[in-house]
A = this chain, B = another copy of it.
Amino acid sequence: MGDTIAVEKISVDCKQHLRAINDTQDLLSGKWKVMIIGCLALGKKRYMELQRMVEGIGSKMLSKELQELEINGLITRTVQDTKPITVEYELTEYGRTLKPIIDAMALWGVQHRKKIITAK
């Protein structure tokens, strides 16, 4: 009986664990979000800068994913009153809490590439 309770508890914990992973993944869904955040982790960036940094991204996808990130409170969008206007994107404090994830992914990617190359 005690065992059953223990097993159920583990099972519940596991579900929550997986749900948490899923939540995170959802917020970072899309082909470019993680890279965009990776860019913004280096500091505030303008629309054009982002498009240049994130190689291959189109204007449509860039604005779409930026909007989603903004909606989720991960970045801010600030219009500069210049001529013509410029827009700056920046990670919010909350967005910065994603840094451990991004860093872990970047680090793993670097090691992985090393591994693949030496394996050849």
Contact = CB atoms under 8 A, between A and B. Distances in A.
The SS class assigned to the A binding surface is helix
Nearest to A115: B94
A24 B54 contact: no
Interface in A2-36: 14-25, 27, 34-35
Interface in A48-104: 53-55, 94, 97-98, 100-102, 104
A35 B54 CA distance: 27
B104 A14 contact: no
A96 to B, nearest CB: 12
Interface of A: 14-25, 27, 34-35, 38-39, 42, 53-55, 94, 97-98, 100-102, 104-113, 115
